[in-house]
Amino acid sequence: MALRREPTARQTRLATELRRLRDAAGLTAREAAALLGVGAAQISHIESALAGVSEARLRRLAAHYACTDAAFIDALVVMATNRTRGWWEDYRGRLPTMYMDLAELEHHATHRRDVEFLYIPGLLQTEDYARAVFSYQVPALPGSEVDLRVRHRMERKVITEGPAPVPYEAVIHEAALRIRVGTRSAARAQLARVLELSEADHVTVRVIPFELDGFAGAWSTMMLVGGAVPRLDTAVRDAPHGTVLIDSEAQLGVFRTLFHKVERVSLDVERSRDFIHRLAKEL
């Protein structure tokens, strides 16, 4: 079987989890290969996401690794055998790979949490707002590329506005609500859209006001994407060199704690809606 040339983030995550299980069991790749009756190279290919793994082999490995978390193993099996080719595949080769990886990650998400301080979260953005954001990049993107990125961002909203939406929580700082990324009318439409979406049963929007005393968490912009089990959650951070997916349990614990900290100091849902209403009237 030919090896993959460019594994997806989901395939890489599966490979990472299998390697972690083997390491925890104290086995070498050669010893794991012997348990399956294959060469060590096969285990290496599986653990580097260059090759897939069948359900039978995955369950045998999990048993040999003494993993007793049935829900986790079942989730890994789904990752290994679900070969969904979603809407994002239309953009492959036309946009950076991370756009596909993020859309696929969200497609399989069980919940989504955002914390934003300078921008409205992508899943809440209007088309005009998203276009203004992408048009401001340096070096400037060609108009056709801006169009693609805007269209991709709008299609990502299926996880919150589609037929089977997932629970979504957003904590937004007042700065992000006040900064006029586009025109005054676009800003007004953007706030109206946030308010409209906040009325949905599965959407929770909270605001952190400027007047909050002792708030030093403005660096903690983040996205948390829920996996089939908490062990498969993913944190997403934007970095100078691009978007980074974080999946180590220690780091995930940090991001979960940060989210709960900003959530605790934010306004409750009703006061947040009233706050956004007041800002909209000022425009």
pLDDT 10s digits, 226-265: 999 999 999 999 876 778 999 999 999 999 999 999 999 9
8 Å CB contact between 189 and 128: yes
Give the domains, in start order, of the chain with CATH numbers: 9-81 (1.10.260.40), 97-126+155-282 (3.30.870.10)
Q: What pLDDT does 83 receive? A: 83
Q: Say if strands 242-246 and 234-239 run parallel, antiparallel, or are unpaired.
A: antiparallel
**DSSP designation for 95:** B
119: region left, alpha or beta (phi > 0 left; psi from -120 to 50 alpha): beta
State both tokens at 136: 């401001």
8 Å CB contact between 118 and 222: no
Q: Which residues contact 238 (CB under 8 A, 6 or more apart)?
A: 221, 244
**DSSP designation for 245:** E
Q: What pLDDT does 240 receive? A: 63
Q: Say if strands 222-225 and 203-208 run parallel, antiparallel, or are unpaired.
A: unpaired
Three-state secondary structure readout of 24-92: HHCCCHHHHHHHHCCCHHHHHHHHCCCCCCCHHHHHHHHHHCCCCCHHHHHHHHHHHHCCCCCHHHHHE
Annotate 187-240 with DSSP letters as a single string.
Answer: HHHHHHHHHHHHTSTTEEEEEE-TT-TT---TT--EEEE--SSGGG-EEEEEET
d(CA 82, CA 79): 6
Give residue 274's identity as a one-letter amino acid code: D
List b or e across 161-197, with b for residues whose CB sees 16 or more CB atoms inside 10 angstroms.
Answer: eeeebbebbbbbbbebbeeebbeeebbbbbbebbeeb
SS3 169: strand
**Ranges of the chain whose pLDDT falls below 50:** none
